[in-house]
A and B are shown apart, each in its own frame.
Chain A
Amino acid sequence: MTEVVLAVVLGLLFATGTFLILRRDLVRVVWGVSVMSQAANVYLVTMGGIAGSVPVIGHGGADPGTVTDPLVQALVLTAIVIGFGTTAFALVLTYRVYQEHGTIDLEAVEVEP
Chain B
Amino acid sequence: MTADFVVAPLVVAIATAVLALPTRHWPRLQVGISLLGAVVYAAAVAWLVVRVFPSTAVTYQLGDWPAPFGITLVADPLSVFMLALTAAVAVPTLVYGVRAIDDHGQRLSFHALYHFMLVGVTGAFLTGDLFNLFVWFEVMLMASYVLVVFESDTAATGAAFVYLVLNLVGSAVMLLAVGGIYAVTGTLNMADVARRLAHAQAWGIDPAPVVGLAVLLFAVFALKAGLAPFQFWVPPAYEAAPTPVTAMLAGVVKKVGVYAMIRLYFTVVAPASVPLGLGFGEGAAAFVAPVLLVMAAASIGVGAVGAIDGDTFEELLAYSSVSQIGFIVLPIAVGAAVPSVRVLAVAAALVYALNHALAKSALFLVAGTIQEATGTTRFDDLGGLSGATPVVATAFFVAALALVGIPPLSGFFGKVLVFDVAVQAGADPALAVALGGAVLTVAYLSRAWTRGFWGPSTAATRAASPDRVLLGTAVVLVAGVVLVGVGFDPVYRAATDAATAAVDPQGYVEAVLGPDAWTVTPGGAGP
- List residues of A whose CB falls within 8 A of some B CB: 17, 21, 26, 29-30, 33, 36-37, 39-41, 43-44, 47-48, 71-72, 75, 78-79, 82, 85-86, 89-90, 93-94, 96-97, 100-101, 109-113
Contacts and interface: CB of A to CB of B under 8 A. Distances in A.
Contacts of B408: none
Nearest to A109: B158
- Of B142, B165, B178, B236, most buried by chain A (CB within 10 Å of CB) is B165
Interface stretch (B146-154, B329-337, B342-350): B146-154
A85 B142 contact: yes
24 contacts: A21-B169, A33-B165, A33-B169, A40-B172, A40-B175, A40-B179, A47-B180, A47-B182, A71-B182, A71-B188, A72-B179, A75-B178, A75-B179, A89-B142, A89-B164, A93-B145, A93-B164, A96-B157, A97-B157, A100-B157, A109-B157, A111-B159, A112-B235, A113-B240
Interface residues on B, range: 35 or more
| CB-based closest 3 A-B pairs | A47-B183, A40-B175, A47-B179
B161 A93 contact: yes
Is the contact region of chain B dominated by helix, strand, or loop, or is it mixed? helix
Given A17-B172, A21-B169, A30-B165, 14 more contacts: A37-B175, A40-B176, A47-B180, A72-B179, A75-B179, A78-B131, A79-B175, A82-B135, A86-B145, A86-B168, A86-B171, A101-B157, A111-B236, A113-B155
A66 to B, nearest CB: 18
Contacts of A101: 154, 157-158
B138 interface: yes
A100 B153 CA distance: 7
A72 B182 contact: yes
Interface in B306-335: 315
A100 to B, nearest CB: 5
A110 B168 CA distance: 21
Given A36-B172, A40-B175, A86-B142, A109 B161 contact: yes
Nearest to A26: B161
B196 to A, nearest CB: 16
B162 interface: yes
A30 B154 CA distance: 19
B160 interface: yes
A75 B132 CA distance: 9
A21 B179 CA distance: 23
B409 to A, nearest CB: 31
B152 A110 contact: no
B239 interface: yes
Contacts of A36: 168-169, 172
Given A39-B172, A90-B168, A110-B155, A97 B239 contact: no
Nearest to B184: A47
Given A43-B176, A111-B236, A93 B183 contact: no
B175 A93 contact: no
Nearest to B168: A33
B265 to A, nearest CB: 22
Nearest to A38: B172
A4 B142 CA distance: 35
Contacts of B179: 40, 43-44, 47, 72, 75
Contacts of B158: 97, 100-101, 109-111
Nearest to A90: B164
Contacts of A82: 135, 138, 171
- Of A37, A43, A82, A96, most buried by chain B (CB within 10 Å of CB) is A82
- Of B154, B179, B188, B236, most buried by chain A (CB within 10 Å of CB) is B179
B182 to A, nearest CB: 6
Contacts of A47: 179-180, 182-183
Contacts of B131: 75, 78
Contacts of B182: 47-48, 71-72, 75
A97 B164 CA distance: 13
A106 to B, nearest CB: 8
B154 A96 contact: no
B154 A100 contact: yes
Given A47-B182, A97-B157, A110-B154, A37 B135 contact: no
B165 A113 contact: no
A29 B162 CA distance: 10
B172 A93 contact: no
Nearest to A44: B179
Contacts of A85: 142
Nearest to A87: B168
Interface string B168-209: 110111011011101100001000000000000000000000
A33 B236 CA distance: 21
A85 B56 CA distance: 38
Interface string B128-144: 00010011001000100
Contacts of A43: 175-176, 179
A4 B378 CA distance: 58
Interface in B226-269: 235-236, 239-240
- Of A48, A90, A100, most buried by chain B (CB within 10 Å of CB) is A100
Contacts of A110: 154-155, 158
Contact of A78 (B135, B146, B159, B169): B135
A82 to B, nearest CB: 5
B126 to A, nearest CB: 18
